[in-house]
Structure 1
Amino acid sequence: MVWTGVMISGSLIVLLVFINQVQAGSRGAFGCLYASDILSCTGLGMDQVPGDMPVSTVTLDLSHNRIVDLDAGSFEGLPRLETLRLAHNQLSDIPPGAFSNSSGTLLRHLDLSSNRLRVLEQDYFQDLQGLEELLLFNNRIVRVESQALAGLRNLHKAYLSHNRLTDFPFFSIQKHSHPHLSLLDLSSNRLPKLPLEDISNLPLSVQEGLYLHNNSLVCECSMYDLFRVWDQKGYDSVRFFRQEHVCLVFGIQRGTVRFFQHGRYFEKCNTTLNQPMREQESSVAVTAGNPLLLHCVTSLSGHGVTFLWFAPNSEYVVPPGNNSSLKMFGNGSLEIVAARERDSGIYWCMALDQRRRRNETWEVNVTVVLQHDAEAHEPFNTGFTTLLGCVVSLVLVLMYLYLTPCRCPPCPKTPPPATPTPSIGNEGTAGASILTPTPPATTEAPGRKVSTNKHVVFLEPIREQQNGRLRAEPGHLGPGLLLSPELKGHRAGEMDSIVFSDTPIMMP
């Protein structure tokens, strides 16, 4: 029993020694833990990247240390590296070639969050063509160079929130340069004004994943219209962060408005002015009597910027405007309350930043269209004419169906009349008598049909009476009709019976 206990105790001691040796072998010189293909060196107080790292490393975690600088080729000898975490260090700069190594095309995930970076230069990530996810939030970045993200063709997500950005090169993000980008987080920065034209040119996948909440945006109609459209489309960037979408009234930090909760501030943009929210065009037209809002387009922003306008009649306008026709707002917009013909002309705006000693100007050509001119040039309403045509067609169809006369039974065919001879019929039927002259057939020119030139003449009754009878002069049957020579020899008494016969008289 004693020997058995000694043997068991010895086995335990050997096992413990073996485990300690294995653990010691799994730690590097700096105390990093290595398991499988993951090398973790977090929270060790290191001030530089360790050397002699295993070549099979796929994930390298150097977060929560005191690393201040990276050297060129710091990660050489790691051909399989796909994930690199450098968060919560003290990096303020990235030298050229810091990520230049054989794993550059394989690196997918790079975490540089919570450092001290101030500027993203164009050569920081030029060796990372395969990068898919870039984390840069919670730094001190004030500027992003236009080509800083140009080489990241495979980039899917970029996080730059919680920095100090006042501008961002949206124009550098295009479909051909970033075909896979679906998330760009610029929230919690200091963006005062959005370049709406550049944002509208972004690919739809980038617009849907563009996060801009909790910035220092100045309250403007154009800005509000952008987020309202995204809200109507159901973008997650608006749907999940409605409470964090704020703007500053006249650029004053204390005048913060949560515009999705207090949309009444922008009612004037949608109803009173009755025009779309967009950047002001250089030439606009308005119908006489209608209001018009003119924007002072400028890149200057902040509470130190002041605006003024010059009207065509050399009138100097500043907030709140004059008493009746012109109103001016603190954001530089000028409202023509009711346009008149004399309001046409060039309106000139100046934005002045006294602190930085900068100024910018903008001109707008306003044309006031009179009411009668607007009516004369009103476009042809094809929809109304189409509807009118349909109604007329329907009425005609109903008239055809319900107002068509009844069909009479077929009349019996009469034999062709024989050669007519003059005869004397009953009297008193002159109104129904018909004189049908039948001229001889003539042969027209070759190739033409024979024309009979038949005429049917209705005799008008003669109103002159004599002894209760109608009177007709000899040789005359009515206006413009003469008797034939064969009938001129009859007496006047016989003429009455001839004229008022029901039998047609055939003229040779």
Structure 2
Amino acid sequence: MRALLSWTWPALLLSLLRQTRSAGEGGCLRASDILSCAGLGLDRPPADVPASVAALDLSHNWMSVLRGGSFEGLLRLRSVRLAHNRLTAILPGAFRNSSGELLRYLDLSSNKLRALEAASFRDLPGLEELLLFNNLLVTVERDAVAALGGLRRLYLSHNRLADFPFRSVRGHPDLVLLDLSWNRLPRLPLAKLTSLPARLQRALYLHGNPLACDCATYRVLRLWELRGYPAVSDFQRDHTCLIDGVRGLSARFLPDFPQACNSSAVTPQSSEVTVKAGGPALLHCSTALTGAHLTFFWVSPHHEYVAAPGNKGSLSAFANGSLRIAAARAEDSGVYWCVARDAAGRRNETQEVNVTVVPQHAGRHHDSFNTGLTTLLGCLVSLILVLMYLYLTPCRRRRRPASANEAGPESGRSSILGPATTEGPGRNRHVVFLEPVGKRQNGRPGLGGALEGHVGPGSLLEPAARQTLPDAALVLP
């Protein structure tokens, strides 16, 4: 029985595998919403791909062109792999009528693409990761990356790029990685690089390019190394440059640059400037560089490039390296970068100035509202009023009857205020409040019937009681 099972299971598994490969997908393997058609010698995407597929693998085939509608009807696609084909072009509309915003991952590596065109990816606004390494790219259109609004990672290493539109990625909202290593970049546009967001500078891979050996590039790379950016610190040995532009005669930028560059200028000098809202501010670019070929440019916190002579809104740059903010606003706060560049000596220095814009009324010396003094004054006034009420209130003093028989009609009520012997002649008068008790009406004490209860300070008379009892009844002799 065991022997029979040992022979039966492999046969059943092989039969199931054959059925899966021949189930209408041209020999592809399918598992749930994943379809793999790798290594089948396909020259185009299969036409019978199920609409429920979310991950499609078409790598290691012979496709040379992606035509319009190649993925039509695949409305759930999230990942497409087209690596190791022979693609030379991606025609407009190739991804039209597909998942569009749902597609997050596209692998086009190891093909023969020569240009990255914006029209090829206009139907993929939700794309987050695009792999284009190991192609033959020589051109990247300016709008190609800008059209991918959700892009986070772009891999362009091992191509033939001699230029890249860095300005197109400067304001990209989500891009956190740009790999341009092992291309053919001869020089780096330092003004554009330093204006990139810090999150992108951390993962801007530039090693393996035939850069010219100059102090300006060295200082930028050295600064990124000091800041611990992985793009530089993880690939120190691969950041090389050509000495005097001679191919084959190269040196390493890091850790020891062969030229005599002033490394003390690498670390930017920090300074703080505080300006009131609406007021002007003048920022100075401190540098030890001198000469007729010295130029300056500034980069604002909003990544605006400002160079003399010129202005950018409320910012104005001058030939001496100063930057003027005409009317400071709250959004003008932040770190301003100044770069002093000596074109003849191929040297530069950088400085950062932290500007803080405070409200117009901040810092003024007003007479503050003294709460403690006001409270004390209120207490004194209240105390004076109480004393005036206790001792200066006019009261009619009645003569004590000679005997009980001569007592007036109010003596009965006055007797409840206490024994007559508690106070003697000449003692101070005290005002108390009488709480009348007796019959109760709706839960409230009335004045009719025998008087019961007690008298105590703070007990308030009902309005009817105030009309019945005379003022003299409230005074203790």
Bin for the TM-score computed over the shorter chain: 0.5 to 0.7
The equivalent residue for 1:266 is 259
TM-score, structure 2 as length reference: 0.54
Are 1:20 and 2:15 an aligned pair? yes
Find the aligned partners of 2:6 and 2:231 in 1 and give their Cα distance.
Answer: 62
Which of 240, 251, 276 matches 2:245? Answer: 251
Which of 164, 170, 173 matches 1:174? Answer: 170
2:125 aligned partner, one-letter code: Q
The structure with the larger Rg is 1
SS in structure 1 at match of 2:134: coil
Which of 189, 194, 199 matches 2:188? Answer: 194
The Cα shift of 1:121 comes to 1.1
Find the aligned partners of 1:276 and 1:16 in 2 and give their Cα distance.
Answer: 70
The equivalent residue for 1:184 is 178
Find the aligned partners of 1:87 and 1:11 in 2 and give their Cα distance.
Answer: 39
**For 1:147-162, what aligned pairs fall within 5 Å after superposition?**
147-162=143-158
The equivalent residue for 1:89 is 85
Are 1:128 and 2:124 an aligned pair? yes
Kept after mapping to 2: 8 A contact 1:32/1:40: yes
* Structure 2 gap ranges (5+): 269-284, 297-341, 347-477
Kept after mapping to 1: 8 A contact 2:122/2:147: yes
Are 1:41 and 2:34 an aligned pair? no
2:161 aligned partner, one-letter code: L
Which of 65, 72, 75 matches 1:76? Answer: 72
Find the aligned partners of 1:188 and 1:52 in 2 and give their Cα distance.
Answer: 39
| Distance of aligned partners of 1:260 and 1:95 in 2 relative to their CA distance in 1, 3 Å threshold | same
Q: Aligned pairs, how many?
A: 283
| Distance of aligned partners of 1:47 and 1:233 in 2 relative to their CA distance in 1, 3 Å threshold | same
Find the aligned partners of 2:31 and 2:287 in 1 and give their Cα distance.
Answer: 73
| Distance of aligned partners of 1:17 and 1:246 in 2 relative to their CA distance in 1, 3 Å threshold | closer
Find the aligned partners of 1:69 and 1:185 in 2 and give their Cα distance.
Answer: 25
The Cα shift of 1:269 comes to 4.1
| Distance of aligned partners of 1:296 and 1:142 in 2 relative to their CA distance in 1, 3 Å threshold | farther
The equivalent residue for 2:315 is none
The equivalent residue for 2:97 is 101
**For 1:429-468, what aligned pairs fall within 5 Å after superposition?**
none
| Distance of aligned partners of 1:102 and 1:42 in 2 relative to their CA distance in 1, 3 Å threshold | closer
**For 1:11-410, what aligned pairs fall within 5 Å after superposition?**
16=11, 20=15, 23-27=18-22, 28-175=24-171, 178-263=172-257, 265-270=258-263, 292=291, 294=293, 334=344
| Distance of aligned partners of 1:294 and 1:71 in 2 relative to their CA distance in 1, 3 Å threshold | same
The Cα shift of 1:10 comes to 12
The equivalent residue for 1:313 is none
SS in structure 1 at match of 2:162: coil
Find the aligned partners of 1:48 and 1:130 in 2 and give their Cα distance.
Answer: 24
Kept after mapping to 2: 8 A contact 1:293/1:333: no
Find the aligned partners of 1:153 and 1:294 in 2 and give their Cα distance.
Answer: 40
1:253 aligned partner, one-letter code: R
| Distance of aligned partners of 1:88 and 1:296 in 2 relative to their CA distance in 1, 3 Å threshold | farther
| Distance of aligned partners of 1:189 and 1:14 in 2 relative to their CA distance in 1, 3 Å threshold | closer
The Cα shift of 1:30 comes to 2.5
Find the aligned partners of 1:333 and 1:169 in 2 and give their Cα distance.
Answer: 23
Find the aligned partners of 2:25 and 2:287 in 1 and give their Cα distance.
Answer: 77
Find the aligned partners of 2:4 and 2:194 in 1 and give their Cα distance.
Answer: 76
| Distance of aligned partners of 1:293 and 1:247 in 2 relative to their CA distance in 1, 3 Å threshold | farther
Kept after mapping to 2: 8 A contact 1:291/1:335: no
The Cα shift of 1:262 comes to 2.9
| Distance of aligned partners of 1:221 and 1:77 in 2 relative to their CA distance in 1, 3 Å threshold | same
Once the two structures are superposed, residues 228-287 of structure 1 have per-residue CA deviations (whole angstroms, 9 ceiling, x without a partner) of: 110111000011000000111111111211121332x2324447xx8999xxxxxx9999
| Distance of aligned partners of 1:80 and 1:220 in 2 relative to their CA distance in 1, 3 Å threshold | same
* Structure 1 gap ranges (5+): 278-283, 298-331, 337-508
Find the aligned partners of 2:60 and 2:92 in 1 and give their Cα distance.
Answer: 23
Kept after mapping to 1: 8 A contact 2:223/2:266: no
Kept after mapping to 2: 8 A contact 1:112/1:135: yes
TM-score, structure 1 as length reference: 0.51
